[in-house]
Amino acid sequence: MTQSHTEEVLSYAGVDLQMLKAGNGPPLLVLHGAGGNPGFTPYHHALAERFTVYAPSHPGFDGSSRPPWIDSIVAVSHFYLGLVDEMGLDRFSLMGFSMGGWIAAEMAAMAPARLDRLVLVAAVGVKPGNGRIAELFNVSRDDVSKLRFFDTAQVPNYDETYGREMTRAEADVERRNRETAARWCWQPYMHNPNLPHYLTKVRAPTLVVWGREDAIAPVECAEAYGQAIPNSRLRVIDRCGHIPQVEKPREFLDAVIPFLSDPQPA
């Protein structure tokens, strides 16, 4: 049964934060990537069948305001740790996609005792040793779309979702999202050189999920996360790009739901 979701605005630390929510199980905070909050998608609804899913729009993205003090990935990570305190979530699980995975990783290192489980999906934030993280801010929307997926034929409703021309309002939101992401991720580009050292403090069982053909963050980044986080395991999905939750949703959910549900994952 599809879980209906609610949308509200939470006011905290000078931010009016857009928050989507559904479900009534253990709390799961889901952090979107640099492209913005996709809304409550089929994978959110699937997760909400077992968990209380909180899916905020980051400060400066979509329907959330951006105060001057949130000027980096580290700053927004501190913001979210304060927000979960304000929400009364003593312990919670955390899932982040791409840039949201970077935020999740920083949060896990800052407050290792708070997390039950951590899921990093195609997370930027660590620098690959040989490859590179693709340029996203000085290229066109079409170029970014081509990098997202291994095979667009695998993506439900690709043309309607990613291929159509945006309205003026949608273009304005995308421009604002990109500006905020660039402000947070530009120097050094898409990584924190110190993050691998911080990640040694993470206590939560961690699942790293990646598409083998990811053209934005190479699978080498997944291996770097796995090496840095003590209690972690890696799930690589074949014939899949940077957004496995959309391109390979069944494989994605088959990996993350048992992991998040198991009280003692192997």
Report pLDDT digits (tens) over 166-220.
999 999 999 999 999 999 999 999 999 999 999 999 999 999 999 999 999 999 9
Domain that holds residue 157: 6-261
Instruction: Determine, yes or no, domain membership for 90.
Output: yes
- Asked if residue 266 is part of any domain, the answer here is no
Cis peptide bond upstream of 112, omega within 30: no
The answer to whether position 150 is within a domain reads yes
Q: What is the mean pLDDT of the chain?
A: 95
Examine residue 157 and state whether it is found in any structural domain, yes or no: yes
CA gap 130, 151 in Å, rounded: 25
Q: Nearest-CA neighbor of 96 among 28, 192, 177, 168?
A: 28
pLDDT in tens, 112-123: 999 999 999 999
- Output the pTM of the full model: 0.96
Write down the pLDDT at residue 129. 85
Is residue 158 assigned to a domain? yes
Q: Supply the CATH number for residue 71's domain.
A: 3.40.50.1820
CB-based contacts of 141, cutoff 8 Å, min separation 6:
166, 174
Domain count for the chain? 1
pLDDT of residue 145: 85
Task: Examine residue 1 and state whether it is found in any structural domain, yes or no.
Answer: no
Judged by phi (left if over 0) then psi (alpha if -120 to 50, else beta), residue 250 lies in: alpha
